[in-house]
Structure formats: C-alpha cells, structure tokens
Amino acid sequence: MRTQLLKADESSLKLAAELLKDGQVVGIPTETVYGLGADALNETAVRAIFAAKERPADNPLIVHVADFAELEPLCHVNDMARKLNEAFWPGPLTMILPKKDIVPTVVTAGLESVAIRMPAHPVAQRIIRLSGCPIAAPSANRSGRPSPTQAQHVFEDMDGRIPLIIDGGDSDVGVESTVVSLTGDTAVVLRPGGITPEMIAAVLGTCEVADSVMRPLREGEEAPSPGMKHKHYAPKAPMTLYAGQTAQVARRICAEYDAAKEDGEALILAAHDHLPLYGDRHVFDLGPTAASAAHALFAALRYADTLGVHRVFSEAYPEEGVGLALMNRMARAAGFDIVHV
C-alpha cells in the first residue's frame, strides 16, 4: 500500500473523511500525539488499526468525538463527566465511562467501560465532523515505539501500512492525554497527562491517582489501564534517569557518559538551563520547563534511535504538575532505572 503524507487543507481533510467513512485507517494530528484513526463503530476498520500498529488485542482504544452530545449513544454520562467536559474539553483529557452496546467489544478489548476524548486540535475536530463518525484512535506509533509527535514520526512507523497521514504540525502537549476513570464514586487518574490531578480535583473536589502510575507493575498484578502493562515509550538503547541536586546530577551524568563513550555513541537529555554543565558532550535540549520537556521527550527518544546510540542518560524531573506525566513516560522509557544521586 502506498502511504500519502499530505499537509492539512480542505481537500486533504475531505479525503481523510472519505477514507474513514470507507472503513480505512488514517494518521491524524491531535494536540497530545498523532493518532491512528478509524470509524469506532466499524469492527473491521478497528481491527485494521490493531493490525497496522501490531497492538495486542487486550489493549483498548480511545474513541474521539467533536461534540459532547455524541457521548449519549456511546456511554452512560454522569455528573463528573459533565463537569470535566465544561472545564477541560476539548483538550488532553480522556474519560472512562460505562459503555453502551453500540460500541464494539474490539474497541474496548472486552471491558464494560469505554474511553472517550474530545481533542482540541482543529484538524482532528474537522476530520471527526466531516467523517460523521466517532473515531477510535490509539497513538500512531508501532507498538513499543515512542508515540509520534510529528507527521514524519507517523510516516516512519506506518509507511506502507495505511493509505493516508495528515500533517497538522508538531503536537503541542507531546505526551498522551490524561486518562481518568469515572466509573466509580471518585475520579481516578490511570495515566497522567496534560490535565493534572490537581486540576481535576479543583473541579470535582477530589481526585485520586492510581498508585501504579509511578512504579512498575508487580508480577501478576492487573493494570488499572491495560496500556500500562505493556513496555512503552522506550528507545532502543538502555536509558537511565538521574534524580537529585542539579550540579551533582550533571557531574554524575558526565562521568557515566564519558565511560560509555569508550564503547560508542551516547546521548544526554537535559534541561536547557543546564546545558553549560555538560560542556561539549552530545546533549538533546529538553527546553526550559517540564512542559517543554514533555513536548520534546518522544522526539528525543526517536532521535536517540536514529543516531543509533548505545546508551541514553537523562535528568529526572519533579513529579508535580505536568512533571508527573513526563516522569511517568521517562520512567517507563528507562525501565524504571532511576538513580538517586
């Protein structure tokens, strides 16, 4: 199959909508990461997503809508969902709600709940509206690769597997949406993202965070969000995180990097303000803030793969605000290899 990569404009968006109506899979920009979209109510189309991604069938998909009214046929809406919609939609928040029968089990991997998100990216919204269907879309990476934050990343992973990728520019947030479960009495964050637990608690009065967010799953433990049990986000080379006081962290990373260099190329990921501490070593600039680091992280991991480095060393970040989402991805990329300096 030939894969077209087209800039977002009225004619490419119409083409995307036609392909989606026809049961095909299209690469779509969103403000979090790029998605691999198909008609959520067409079982065959949804199976084609799993095939293109080589995704295990036990990992459910997020259904994307453009209007709150579209939830009604898909799931049982509650007050928490209405309040979070008012506060954060469209935006980088996914709500887990009890599903209705119309949603095929292949979308939810057999669960009684369904994940729903209203993306803020104007191109994603326009495609959903033009297609007239709810769009099931996981991140558009091949399973096990870092999520794509640029159309080019999607092309690297999906060339020859899907007919069309729409280029809507770099994803703004850079990490996947916050996944919040609303099926119980209180909201529980299963996957941290751009909308923080603090922001949700400010609207609902309280918000819990699943305790597996910042640690590996134990042997035999069930993942609250099935996606968290699969190895995620990792570069090909082993990666280690260093936490502690800035100067000491930099000294330690420099020493590890210099030792690793004897066996081949290595890469350091560091905050912009710390670059002088690394001299002329090969550093990927994560920008000035935790938000800029979240925006840059997946591109940095793909850059490490492209260079073919054999080791990656990264500064750790405080697990607060968007730093929690950033560290959730960084810790997984590093296989939880975190050194406290």
Positions in the binding site for ligand TXA (CB under 6 A): 30, 32-33, 35, 59-62, 94, 96, 108, 111, 113-115, 117, 137-139, 176-177, 179, 190-191, 225-228
Q: From the CB of 59, what's the least distance to ligand TXA, in Å?
A: 5
Q: From the CB of 111, what's the least distance to Mg ion, in Å?
A: 17
Q: Which does 238 bind (CB under 5 to 8 A by kind): ligand TXA, Mg ion, none?
A: none
Q: Which is nearer to Mg ion, 40 or 270 (CB)?
A: 40
Q: Which does 33 bind (CB under 5 to 8 A by kind): Mg ion, ligand TXA, none?
A: ligand TXA
Beta carbons within 8 Å of 314's beta carbon, 6+ residues apart: 239, 240, 241, 242, 268, 269, 270, 330, 334
Would you count residue 139 as binding Mg ion (CB under 5 A)?
Answer: yes
Q: From the CB of 260, what's the least distance to Mg ion, in Å?
A: 29
Number of helices (H) and strands (E), helices first, in the chain? 10, 16
Distance between CA atoms of residues 285 and 277, nearest Å: 12
CA 2 centroid distance within chain: 26
Would you count residue 171 as binding Mg ion (CB under 5 A)?
Answer: no
Would you count residue 59 as binding Mg ion (CB under 5 A)?
Answer: no
Six token digits for residue 5 = 């990569």
Distance between CA atoms of residues 164 and 52, nearest Å: 12
Q: From the CB of 35, what's the least distance to ligand TXA, in Å?
A: 3
Q: What angle do CA 261, 264, 270 make, to 5 degrees?
A: 55
Six token digits for residue 20 = 């989606």
Q: Which is nearer to Mg ion, 261 or 332 (CB)?
A: 332
Count Cβ atoms below 10 Å from residue 232 Cβ, excluding itself: 19
Count of residues near Mg ion by CB under 5 A? 1
Q: Which is nearer to ligand TXA, 156 or 256 (CB)?
A: 156
Distance between CA atoms of residues 235 and 341, nearest Å: 23
Distance between CA atoms of residues 66 and 68, nearest Å: 7
Question: Are 274 and 201 a contacting pair, CB within 8 Å?
Answer: no
Helix (H, G, I), strand (E, B) or coil at 316: coil
Distance between CA atoms of residues 237 and 239, nearest Å: 6
Q: Which does 35 bind (CB under 5 to 8 A by kind): Mg ion, ligand TXA, none?
A: ligand TXA
Q: Which does 108 bind (CB under 5 to 8 A by kind): ligand TXA, Mg ion, none?
A: ligand TXA
Q: Which does 113 bind (CB under 5 to 8 A by kind): Mg ion, ligand TXA, none?
A: ligand TXA
Stretch that binds Mg ion, among 97-105, 134-142, 293-301, 327-335 (CB under 5 A): 134-142
Give me the residues that bind Mg ion (CB under 5 A), please: 139
